[in-house]
Structure 1
Amino acid sequence: MTRHAVEANFDGLVGPTHNYAGLSWGNVASKSNVNAVSNPREAALQGLAKMKRLADRGYVQGVLPPHERPHVPSLKALGFRGTDAQILEQAAESSPAILAAVSSASSMWTANAATVSPSADTSDHRVHFTPANLNAKFHRSIEHTVTGRSLKSIFADEGYFAHHPALPSVSHFGDEGAANHTRLCGHYGEPGVELFVYGQAAFDEQAPAPVKYPARQTLEASQAIARLHGLKDVNRVFAQQNPAAIDAGVFHNDVIAVGNGNTLFYHEMAFLNEEKVLTDIRARLTGAELEAVRVSSAEVPLEDAVASYLFNSQLLNTPDGMLLAVPGECREVASVSRYLDKLLAANGPVTAVEVFDVKQSMRNGGGPACLRLRVVLSDDELQAMHRGVILTGELYERLTLWVETHYRDELAREDLADPMLLDEVRKALDELTGILGLGSIYDFQL
């Protein structure tokens, strides 16, 4: 008998230091908006509005907290000394790039938070979590400790949930989390196929690799996570991302492909060996036939896919087929808008398209799919997790008021050195952990 399960989405709440520092080489949107003035309040409210719309449609919608930024412990580890205000001043004067890095609100993109394997796939039948080391970028490499604390606080029952530390923070095991991982299945409660997409094989110098931008995910990292999570061969497929796509600005696989249920929606440039990937999935997928929705370059040029983040949309299961939740930019790029109309007329697995305004996130290189971490949970697991982070109408109102109370409506790069900003952030996060019932997860609280 199939055990009932749901795919829950846990969105990252945008942090108070949301800013455009252009820290992510290889992320075209991030670099193109460098040093623009951001609006943290608007960004957080846009994210909450997206969560609310999906919760109102009946999806299980959770909230993951932002991280403490600027992260003074990282500055101390790099040799800055004195009071917190003095440390910020020193960093601003001598190393503004480092200050920008430890002030990044990039934890908002929780698709990078971790890799999650549902209990139906794992050898011990628990849900497994591995925080991503994100070691390709300094500003993200400092996230996994607090990410791990958050996940352990929310999914605390060891009878249902297993937590692993991040992989070694070296390039050979570069891990970017669920941005390079998706799961295909017939039913959420049945064993599925976990698709791990990597940019290069780190220990094989002769293997294909991008030449312009770095490959952030390695085959070795994906293999290690599959082992840690107790996945059998029948539950996993390893596929290499097309190096040409990485060099075109597709820094994660979720910028060029997204899957859910038995549907894989992807661009023809997504995989280095497309036919083998599809064959491997079909050989392992049970309970349903794979619905492969392939978008050609003639329909949507790769640069338009990157500009619009068409594939960084959320693919959501509905009783009538798949809903594609797209960023507003998809209707602003002509080829993408035409393709979406064609997609809806095709009577395929995608039966509805909805537009979401996440422009503040998009300007920094993250669409709707970047903002969420998917966790498949059985009914028992859903009850066993900490319920205080599940978005309800009441929690939405409390979080909206919290944002409006604590967030600035403008933030420029020079504001990051303001000691008042650090005080504002800590006060806000201390209150937030109380609202969400998470306990002490931040360094300043410990």
Structure 2
Amino acid sequence: MVKHAVEANFDGLVGPTHNYAGLSWGNVASKSNVNAVSNPREAALQGLAKMKRLADRGYVQGILPPHERPHISSLKSLGFSGTDAQVLEQVATTSPSILAAVSSASSMWTANAATVSPSADTSDHRVHFTPANLSAKFHRSIEHTVTGRTLKSIFADEGYFAHHPALPSVSHFGDEGAANHTRLCGHYGEPGVELFVYGQAAFNEQAPAPKKYPARQTLEASQAIARLHGLKDSRVVFAQQNPAAIDAGVFHNDVIAVGNGNTLFYHDMAFLNEEQVLTDIRARLTGAELEAVRVSNADVPLEDAVASYLFNSQLLNTPDGMLLAVPGECREVASVSKYLDKLQAAGGPITAVEVFDVKQSMRNGGGPACLRLRVVLNDDELQAMHRGVLLTDALYERLTTWVEAHYRSELTHDELADPMLLDEVRKALDELTGILGLGSIYDFQM
């Protein structure tokens, strides 16, 4: 019997050290805004406002908390010693780039937090979680431990939820989480097709690969997660991302394609073997026909897709078709704005477009889809999870007040070494875990 299920979105709450350090080689937006003055308070409030709009529309909207930054434990593991203030002074004086890395608020992009397989797809009929090792970037590779603790705290009932450790943190098993994973289905509670998109086959030196920017997701990592989650071969598609797209700044598949239900919205340069990918999906998808919405390079040049983050939009199911939740930048790029008008008039599966202001995130290279981790849950699983992280009107008001009390309105790179900032962060996060009922998930709480 097919159980009723919903797709819940768990957005990352932007952290108090949100800053523009330009840490992500291959992410054009991240590099182009390096050293700009950030506004952590505005960034967090923009993220909360997006969550609230979707919750008000009836979507199940959850919250994942930010990580402790600067991350003193990482600095001590690298040989910096003394009190926390002395550690910050040492790293700021000798290795400011390392300080920037351990101060990044990148955990807000929870599309990279983990790969999630719903119980309808897995062999033991539990929801499976594997935190991403994010091994391609040091500042992100330090996230998976706290991400795993957080997910286990929220999805604690082992009768419904299974948790795996991150894959080995080496380039051969580079894993960027759900940013390179899409589930397609007829109904959320039915078995679906899990589409894993990879940048290169790490153990095959002759395989196609990008030449300018690194491929962050490997075929081997995607295959390992499929095995860990107990997915049937007949329900999985492994597709290679177009190397030319990676070299154009498409560092994750979710910058050039997004899917939901039976709809796949993608640029014609998304996949190396486009027709084979579509054929494989159609062969495995049951209960619905694939609705492939293909955007040609003639309509939206690849550089415009990257600049606007058209495909890093959320694709949301509604009673009247699919809603595309786009960043405001999509209306600032002429070709993209023109295309969106044509899309709504086309009579296809995407029937509505709404604009969301996430400019603070966009300047660091993350749009609406980067900010959320999708978790399909049936009614029993929804009841079994820790519900204190689900957004309500009361929680929204409380979190808004919390942000306004604890976040700075401006943050420069020099301030990352301020011991007072670390104290502010820890005080804020300690209070936040109490608000959300998560218990002790941070190093400083242990």
TM-score after normalising by structure 1? 1.00
What's the secondary structure of 1:312's corresponding residue? coil
> Which residue of 2 is the match for residue 317 of structure 1?
317
Q: d(CA) in 1 for partners of 2:308 and 2:97?
A: 28
Q: d(CA) in 2 for partners of 1:235 and 1:403?
A: 42
What's the secondary structure of 2:430's corresponding residue? helix
CA apart distance, 1:432: 0.1
Q: d(CA) in 2 for partners of 1:133 and 1:250?
A: 19
Task: Show CA shifts across 1:154-176 (max 9, x none).
Answer: 00000000000000000000000
> Which residue of 2 is the match for residue 166 of structure 1?
166
Q: Hey, which bits of structure 1, 4+ residues long, moved more than 4 A?
A: none
Task: Show CA shifts across 1:116-146 (max 9, x none).
Answer: 0000000000000000000000000000000
CA apart distance, 1:313: 0.1
Q: d(CA) in 2 for partners of 1:433 and 1:373?
A: 19
Task: Show CA shifts across 1:254-296 (max 9, x none).
Answer: 0000000000000000000000000000000000000000000
What's the secondary structure of 1:374's corresponding residue? strand
> Which residue of 2 is the match for residue 260 of structure 1?
260
Q: d(CA) in 1 for partners of 2:272 and 2:172?
A: 20
CA apart distance, 1:2: 2.4
CA apart distance, 1:385: 0.1
Q: d(CA) in 1 for partners of 2:402 and 2:424?
A: 12
CA apart distance, 1:50: 0.1
CA apart distance, 1:3: 1.1
CA apart distance, 1:234: 1.6
> Which residue of 2 is the match for residue 331 of structure 1?
331
Structure 1 runs not aligned, ≥5 long: none
CA apart distance, 1:348: 0.1
Task: Show CA shifts across 1:67-96 (max 9, x none).
Answer: 000000000000001100010000000000
Q: d(CA) in 2 for partners of 1:170 and 1:308?
A: 32
Percent of residue pairs identical: 91
What's the secondary structure of 1:360's corresponding residue? helix
Q: d(CA) in 1 for partners of 2:81 and 2:229?
A: 41
CA apart distance, 1:372: 0.0
Q: d(CA) in 1 for partners of 2:235 and 2:153?
A: 28
Q: d(CA) in 2 for partners of 1:2 and 1:419?
A: 54
Q: d(CA) in 2 for partners of 1:3 and 1:232?
A: 19
Task: Show CA shifts across 1:227-251 (max 9, x none).
Answer: 0000001211000000000000000
> Which residue of 2 is the match for residue 192 of structure 1?
192
Task: Show CA shifts across 1:15-34 (max 9, x none).
Answer: 00000000000000000000
Task: Show CA shifts across 1:395-419 (max 9, x none).
Answer: 0000000000000000011110000
What's the secondary structure of 1:329's corresponding residue? helix
What's the secondary structure of 2:434's corresponding residue? helix
CA apart distance, 1:335: 0.1
Q: d(CA) in 2 for partners of 1:412 and 1:352?
A: 38
CA apart distance, 1:424: 0.1
Q: d(CA) in 1 for partners of 2:14 and 2:234?
A: 37
Q: d(CA) in 2 for partners of 1:195 and 1:85?
A: 46
Q: d(CA) in 1 for partners of 2:357 and 2:67?
A: 23
> Which residue of 2 is the match for residue 89 of structure 1?
89
Q: d(CA) in 1 for partners of 2:5 and 2:11?
A: 19
Task: Show CA shifts across 1:190-231 (max 9, x none).
Answer: 000000000000000000000000000000000000000000
Q: d(CA) in 2 for partners of 1:234 and 1:390?
A: 34
What's the secondary structure of 2:311's corresponding residue? helix
Q: Root-mean-square deviation (CA), in Å? A: 0.3
What's the secondary structure of 2:20's corresponding residue? coil
Q: Tell me the matched-pair count.
A: 446
Q: d(CA) in 2 for partners of 1:72 and 1:235?
A: 42
Q: d(CA) in 1 for partners of 2:95 and 2:149?
A: 29
Q: d(CA) in 2 for partners of 1:403 and 1:294?
A: 40
Q: d(CA) in 2 for partners of 1:232 and 1:116?
A: 15
Q: d(CA) in 2 for partners of 1:159 and 1:436?
A: 23
Q: d(CA) in 1 for partners of 2:115 and 2:234?
A: 18
What's the secondary structure of 1:66's corresponding residue? coil
> Which residue of 2 is the match for residue 101 of structure 1?
101
Q: d(CA) in 2 for partners of 1:339 and 1:233?
A: 36
Q: d(CA) in 2 for partners of 1:87 and 1:240?
A: 43
CA apart distance, 1:366: 0.0
CA apart distance, 1:309: 0.1
Structure 2 residue 433 is matched with structure 1 residue 436: no
Q: d(CA) in 2 for partners of 1:251 and 1:267?
A: 14
What's the secondary structure of 1:311's corresponding residue? coil
Q: d(CA) in 2 for partners of 1:152 and 1:237?
A: 28
